[in-house]
Amino acid sequence: MDIVNIIGAGLAGCEAAYQLSKRGVHVRLCDSKPLKKSPAHHSDKLCELVCSNSFKANRINSAAGLLKEEMRTLGSLLLSCADRCAVPAGGALAVDRELFSDMVTEAIVGDPNIEIIREEITEIPSDGVVIVATGPLTHEALAADISARFGESLRFFDAAAPIVAAESVDMDHAFFESRYGKGGGDDYLNCPMNKAEYEAFYEALVSAERAPVHEFDVMNPKVYEGCMPIEVMAQRGVDTVRFGPMKPVGLRDPRTGHRPWAVLQLRKENASGSMYNLVGFQTNLRFGEQKRVFSMIPALHDAEFLRYGVMHRNTFIDSPRILNSDYSVKENRNLFFAGQITGVEGYMESASSGLLCGINAARLISGQDTLTLPETTMLGAMSRYISDPFVTDFQPMGANFGILPELIHRPRDKAERGQAYADRALADLKAYIEDNIVLC
């Protein structure tokens, strides 16, 4: 009996396991929890979300939304779970993270084709088909084995935002509204600041004490732009944060009738709305400093912090040198890598690579050719980006229209242009599925 070993039961590993199982392949899904956890993990469940609870934009004429629609078309387990436990988030798909993990765990644990192995894997198995999906927080022993096989891994740091109790937000200094009226009326809770309040907050933020990162034992860490700590961003200038996560555009404070000088947006962390995430406030400040500095925002002056922000190490391989566009290793077609360790950036990007790894591993076992989706699809463009040998300074990349081939007739309007990309991608994906019998 053919068995595929998957190392890592995060988003990529679980999606890969599901895709293999529904094609009749038996899977050993190995995960170190609860025996050993990374500094960012807390739950014993599968598919734990350690950073934001947002999967980014859901509208089909956005890059992130197109990626999701392609995954739905291919029968993604994680998208199905996410859609069923979504919480209001304007035009984004955000989830109740506990319910999401519960749903995925139940589906995987209850699958008769999937065996869960609770142990730390310290080296890549040498026999059979293997998918490494250990993510950006790969444990030291396995990371060392990967480095020994393929050369030194690249590393950078990633940060998570704090979560506050909803009942502790002072509603005299906050209001519900989505930018430009998108989504529901209560998708975001806005915490406005005037110029004097913001400038005092800024001065406190740039001078606040940061937590040490020596426990990760890395030299010259890189901070990834897509999840940059708010205090690092602030060092770039007094208006950087105000033009970034605290931008006030598209909002009006009902107390004044005017646009605020700066705004912190809070997003529901769970379906009941009892917890809120500080949007864009990933941080590595000491816990006491987070309480002191973030409480300077008027709406949070007496906030109860249910979880403080943390910073953790991320690791990814030099994929253009190591991987093919089907996520297999160039020197060993029986070995696949999936998830953020490949350099795809984002929850759904990670899951999408697991989806393709699962499909391709099943095809490999059955004697079929592995697949690379059309370059006009977001899934196909991302797999080509991470395997492009002409990319020399390789950095993580999320879904974006810039990696797709240019449109022949390019609309000037941004929304129309996004829709044109989406229409082309989904038409090409449908034709490719029919020609290659991908869904079997």
pLDDT tens for 353-371 read 999 999 999 999 999 999 9
- What's the whole-model pTM score? 0.80
d(CA 158, CA 315): 10
pLDDT tens for 131-174 read 999 988 888 899 999 999 998 766 677 778 999 999 899 999 99
Averaged pLDDT, 326-339: 97
Who has greater pLDDT, 345 or 299? 299
d(CA 128, CA 332): 11
Is pLDDT above 90 for 350?
Answer: yes
CA nearest 357: which of 342, 374, 377, 378? 342
Where on the phi/psi map is residue 10: left (φ > 0), alpha (ψ -120 to 50), or beta? beta
pLDDT tens for 402-417 read 899 989 988 989 899 9
What are the chain's domains?
3-153+317-436 (3.50.50.60), 163-311 (2.40.30)
Contact assessment for residue 339 and residue 31, using Cβ atoms and an 8 Å cutoff? no
Residue with tokens 């519960």: 102
Distance of CA 347 to the CA centre of its chain: 3
What does the pLDDT read at residue 12? Answer: 98
Q: pLDDT confidence of 52, banded at 50, 70, 90?
A: confident
Q: What six digits make up the tokens of 53?
A: 């609870």
Is pLDDT above 60 for 41?
Answer: no
Is pLDDT above 50 for 398?
Answer: yes
